[in-house]
Structure 1
Amino acid sequence: MIKHNDPSMDLLLAELPAAPGIVVSNDSSLNFDATYQVLDFSMRQQSDSVTDAIAIVLHKPSFSIDPLQIFSQVLETLAPNGVLLIVDTFATGFSTVGKSKLNLLSDFLALANRFNFKLEREQTLTTDEPNQQAEFFLKFTKGTYPKWRLSYLDKTDIKRMLGLFENTFHHVMSLEFQQWKYADPESLTICVWEEDKLIGSLGGMPRKVLFFGQVQTVIQIGDVMVDVSKRGILTKTGPFFRMTATFLERCAGFGKPFLCIFGFPNERHMRLSEHLNFYKEVGRILEFSWPALLKAPSFFTSLIEVNTNNINDLSLKIDQLWLTMAADLQNNVVGIRDSQYVLNRYLKHPEKEYRVFLMQHKLTRKVTGLIVLHVQDGRCNLIDLVAPLATIPALLVQVRYLSNTLHCERLFVQISNTFAEYFKTEAYQQEAISIPIAKDTWGAGPDYKDLVDAWWLMSGDMDFR
């Protein structure tokens, strides 16, 4: 029997399976009857020895519950038909920007279902309607082991993820590149397993943006992979749905770590995601090109090549350029492009060599723009730029000449459709490329309609460039 002073424990007492048996609990103040073998939940996080507990009790835990970690752990700890009993405060809805300390109840229940935990009882204990939260008693019974199991990507599984990447995209992602790409501590990857085989993976990389004039953090999806033998399973219980829905519920929207999700899916993935209500298309990346110029267009423009040795000295100039560009984009969404971003994204890339230049007037020394170039297979790609929007046409003329000095016949640029007019300058040619820009629609968050044609994005914003 449990001795207690908390009324919520009456519910636990009534629902606890009959003794004897192993009970795992987070609350050491509970006086369980001696006929139970009671183990501490925090110790269970460091041990995999118990697989036959009859119950796991989480009573008003002082730690923040990560639902994916909890269900992964409980799945392995509980015996068949064992019960998970929870008394905790959950959010009943989110309507404001900013990360909440609470889990959204509907997300929690959806994830429980994906782990084949059956909700046997849900009871509201107290409510706080103004703050959209309530204390609940929840009882789950463990069902059959799920055919497709979800988890976070563990460091020990990175090589398997790289193998899945190679099988999916038919080229190799190096370990060094993977570690650089997901270096941000807030990065995460959701995995799907069939027994011990990794069959699906979806990654996310945080990005600081100027969101209609306000600094926010969003997350960019990338490396969306499902084993070729499972790609035809497009139901709401299949691998793709499980990992994508879990990722969206974990990451995006009001009350979540990231305000929204964006990405660049292929056409098939875009249509599938719209069908499943994961994402909506909010724009397109278009490509333009120009012939290189053989003659310098202006004697008064000089170039300063930016590298890891001099970027600290040039950071004030770069940051001022960014502030000027940001002022032009107050009514849009644009990834922050300050000197620190330029350093980490381009100059510290582990595999690709980018050429970064500041343009300035020879006489006044006024900096007019920053450009990022990547030369490959005889084509010069303008990957990124930081400049006042009105100066883009003149800047392109200079870059066309620079393309010639880099032994390229044409200059190429990719830009979101909203800003295409700035690039339709003399001798331009529009190429066939048209890449969807996606924004999440799964949970409560900024309305995707408000983000249609709102993004400034270039090829440098794409994780695969």
Structure 2
Amino acid sequence: MTKSINHNSIQSTQHYRQATHAAASMTAAPASPGETPVFPLNIYAHALHLHEGVASDLHFGLFKNDKISMRTAQQSTHELLLSKLPPPPCRIVEVGIDPGAATSSMLSQLGYDVRSITLDTLETLNADAQGFDIVLFKESAQYIDQPVIFNKALDLLSPSGQLIVMGEFALKHTITHLERLHLLKNMIMLAERSGFELIENLDLSVLAAPTFDYLLQAISTYRQRLIKDLFLNPEQLTQLEQSNRINREKYTNGQYGYALLRFRKKTTPRWRLQLLKEDQKHKLFDLFKETFHHTMTPATWQWKYGSNASHELGVWCKGKLIAHYGGVGRKILFFGQPQTAVQIADVMVDTNERGVLTRKGPFFLMTAAFLEHYIGYGKPYLIGFGFPNERHMKIAERHGLYGEVGKMAEISWSPLSKFPHWRTRLLPITALDNNAQIALIVNACWQQMAKDLQTALVGIRDWAYIQHRYLNHPTQHYQVVLIKNRGGDQTRGVLILRYDAHGCEIVDIVAPLAEIPLLVLHARRLAGINGQQRLFCRITENFAAHFAVAGGNRKMLDIRIPASTWDNAPSIDSLRNHWWLMSGDADFR
């Protein structure tokens, strides 16, 4: 029941956040220590006060039977935690929501040397030469990225010091929308890869789950008094009760749980996994140039990774970035339904470290962590995709990270003469053409294309995407044209071309699939007009036939399409040969 930075106690699911966001946003800002708690903690605190006469602790209780009070159950939580600690005076840093809360106050009174900090000060805290004996996260770890937890614990703990994490976890992910709890098994695996050994995993789910029952009873009993005293909208309480019932059910079916984990600091690892921060991007630029032999500009980085939909993991060795694994978020249609995917990008390892391709090497470390953290059921992205060559694909398959779900093919044509096509005409689109009419036309083409691809996986290609991906690219130039009927307003499709030393390339289309031969015809004309010797396109092999009907030469490429096999995600069999991907779906073309 600890307060979160998102005004969320106990409830840490997307459902709760959606259900209570409007209500929570109308309350006061997060309270400082000693001030009145914010919604929904004000409800819990007042309900407990009415029910028991006191509300000094807003944490889960451990109920040994259904006869005891919340206060007694919470005391059981404290007693269990104390039984896991060395005798005082050992040095403890408690990372929580409010400094001076019940746990740190109790420990101080018992003679422990306690440093209580909030989540937003964790990364700035430095240990002295002696180090701490215990780093404690009590119902707060779910709000912090796991690499931050383990890296700071390594820095703060003395040799053989202990990291204790007590709170809620996801025990399994089976839903397609985002869960907010860390998956227990993944947290343990990352800890062991980060220099810790697990010394205890205590499942407290059965004892903690009645906390929801107690709160539901208290809110129901004092419903009218809570509405009156706290000036609540009745719907706020209804939503809160529903959220508690949903979470209680998740405990019952084994989806959520409550646990106490104890880890011992075992070693300082050779490589450190960290989330890459914006002020570290110059390190990425150095590694990128060393790996790919050309530069990434700050504008390209901002275009690719500057939004909240993108993520970067880095592996560091002695203060140097030696590996990088990026992901760029993408809205997709997943067999006709809106979903999110992530394109894997800029995977690279320093040349001096590439020989370490074992399960303890930097490539495995960052890839496994990214898949665990971001891809699969209950994660930010349901599926991932990328464009590795066969060699890299085999390495990932050998480690059990990826499975192959498709291949890329290339079709090429000879250019045509520049004479116009009498039935249709071309209308160029530039970055300046940001008007409602163009948006309506492009979106209509996309809706027709989406209708044809209801049994496929395809990235959304609406006007907002076309603008960002092609018209607003910081370094690349693309030719974007509408193909329209002469003498009428009907648009047949959108064609995106790129010109380079390899010829004229169809990097993307937005059109009904039946219009592809017409788009290829116009692309061949434009290739001829621009003096190109060749027109070509790259498309996932399972959809190549739609382009092959326009003639041309077809060949397979050494480019594979992967999907995660590391964590609980849609199966390889369900995804195989269903992706619609073209060159434009790759960030590097």
Alignment TM-score, normalising by the size of structure 1: 0.96
State the AA in 2 paired with 1:463.
Answer: D
In 1, the alpha carbon distance for the partners of 2:579 and 2:556 equals 20
- 2:153 maps to 74
SS at match of 1:10: helix
Asked whether 1:137 is paired with 2:260, we answer: yes
In 2, the alpha carbon distance for the partners of 1:70 and 1:399 equals 52
Q: Tell me how far 1:75 sits from its aligned partner.
A: 1.5
Asked whether 1:163 is paired with 2:281, we answer: no
Asked whether 1:315 is paired with 2:439, we answer: yes
CA contact (8 A) 2:142 2:181 kept: no
1:38 to 111, 114, 137: 114
| C-alpha distance after superposition, 1:53-84 (max 9, x if no partner) | 11112222286232122112211111111111
Q: Give the alignment of 1:217-366 within 5 angstroms.
A: 217-296=340-419, 298-312=421-435, 313-366=437-490
In 2, the alpha carbon distance for the partners of 1:45 and 1:65 equals 10
Q: Tell me how far 1:427 sits from its aligned partner.
A: 4.5
Q: Give the alignment of 1:447-458 within 5 angstroms.
A: 447-458=571-582
Asked whether 1:10 is paired with 2:79, we answer: yes
State the AA in 1 paired with 2:455.
Answer: N
In 2, the alpha carbon distance for the partners of 1:47 and 1:432 equals 51
User: Of Structure 1 and Structure 2, which has the larger fraction of its residues in strand?
Assistant: 1
Q: Tell me how far 1:152 sits from its aligned partner.
A: 0.5
- 1:29 maps to 102
Q: Tell me how far 1:297 sits from its aligned partner.
A: 6.0
CA 260–19 in structure 1, closer or farther in 2 if over 3 Å, else same: same
Stretches of 4+ moved more than 4 A in 1? none
Asked whether 1:122 is paired with 2:201, we answer: yes
| C-alpha distance after superposition, 1:334-375 (max 9, x if no partner) | 000000000000000000111100010011221001000111
In 2, the alpha carbon distance for the partners of 1:111 and 1:415 equals 36
In 1, the alpha carbon distance for the partners of 2:117 and 2:314 equals 25
State the AA in 2 paired with 1:210.
Answer: L
CA contact (8 A) 1:297 1:398 kept: no
1:152 to 256, 260, 275: 275
State the AA in 1 paired with 2:112.
Answer: Y
Which of 346-355 and 195-204 deviates more?
Answer: 195-204
Structure 2: gaps spanning 5 or more residues: 1-70, 207-250
Q: Tell me how far 1:440 sits from its aligned partner.
A: 1.1
Which of 293-302 and 74-83 deviates more?
Answer: 293-302
- 1:49 maps to 126
- Which of the two has higher C-alpha Rg? 2
State the AA in 2 paired with 1:188.
Answer: H
SS at match of 1:311: coil
CA contact (8 A) 1:168 1:225 kept: yes
CA contact (8 A) 1:12 1:85 kept: no
Q: Give the alignment of 1:202-217 within 5 angstroms.
A: 202-217=325-340
SS at match of 1:228: coil
In 2, the alpha carbon distance for the partners of 1:280 and 1:433 equals 18
State the AA in 1 paired with 2:86.
Answer: P
In 2, the alpha carbon distance for the partners of 1:74 and 1:89 equals 19
Q: Tell me how far 1:378 sits from its aligned partner.
A: 6.6
Q: Give the alignment of 1:83-98 within 5 angstroms.
A: 83-98=162-177
- 2:497 maps to 373
CA contact (8 A) 1:373 1:384 kept: yes
In 1, the alpha carbon distance for the partners of 2:540 and 2:401 equals 21
In 2, the alpha carbon distance for the partners of 1:314 and 1:69 equals 45
SS at match of 1:414: strand
State the AA in 1 paired with 2:160.
Answer: N
In 1, the alpha carbon distance for the partners of 2:577 and 2:419 equals 35
Which of 336-345 and 378-387 deviates more?
Answer: 378-387
SS at match of 2:517: helix
In 2, the alpha carbon distance for the partners of 1:240 and 1:19 equals 42
CA contact (8 A) 2:539 2:583 kept: yes
In 2, the alpha carbon distance for the partners of 1:386 and 1:434 equals 26
CA contact (8 A) 2:95 2:122 kept: no
State the AA in 2 paired with 1:124.
Answer: D
Which of 438-447 and 331-340 deviates more?
Answer: 438-447
SS at match of 1:16: coil
State the AA in 2 paired with 1:96.
Answer: I
Q: Tell me how far 1:9 sits from its aligned partner.
A: 2.0
Between the two proteins, what is the percent identity of the paired residues?
A: 38
In 2, the alpha carbon distance for the partners of 1:349 and 1:343 equals 8
Give RMSD over aligned pairs: 1.8
Tell which has more relative contact order, 1 or 2 (C-alpha 8 A, sep 6+): 1
CA contact (8 A) 1:296 1:398 kept: no
In 1, the alpha carbon distance for the partners of 2:574 and 2:550 equals 32
In 2, the alpha carbon distance for the partners of 1:427 and 1:442 equals 40
Structure 1: gaps spanning 5 or more residues: none
State the AA in 2 paired with 1:241.
Answer: F
- 2:25 maps to none
